[in-house]
Amino acid sequence: MIKKKKAKQVGLVTMYHLEHADGTPADPRGAYFVLKLNSKDTPYAKASIMAVLAFANVIRPANRKLAQDLDKWVMKHWRELQKRKD
């Protein structure tokens, strides 16, 4: 049996500095949390996918188009995740 190296566990840390796509600064008082749906670490990828699905379900009554786009985007990443051998 091959043992995987256990990932170092850390708490909530600042890993990214955000700005808008046009280069303008993001709200410095804003609370942001970045999710990486195609993380190489499978538990993190699964958690990210589930978080986006939860967001889509909550936002659906207010913005059906956004929710549908998120559903499609997430399913693409879910299918890729299912192909992994780990």
Determine contact, residues 44/10, Cβ cutoff 8 Å.
Answer: no
- Smallest CA-to-CA distance from 66 within 55, 77, 79 is with 55
Q: How confident is the model at residue 85 (pLDDT cuts 50, 70, 90)?
A: confident
Q: How confident is the model at residue 3 (pLDDT cuts 50, 70, 90)?
A: low
H or E segment at 5? Answer: none
Q: How confident is the model at residue 38 (pLDDT cuts 50, 70, 90)?
A: very high
The answer to whether residue 15 scores a pLDDT higher than 70 is yes
Least confident of 4-13, 18-27, 47-56: 4-13
pTM tops 0.85, yes or no: no
What are the residue ranges of helices labelled H in the chain?
42-59, 64-82
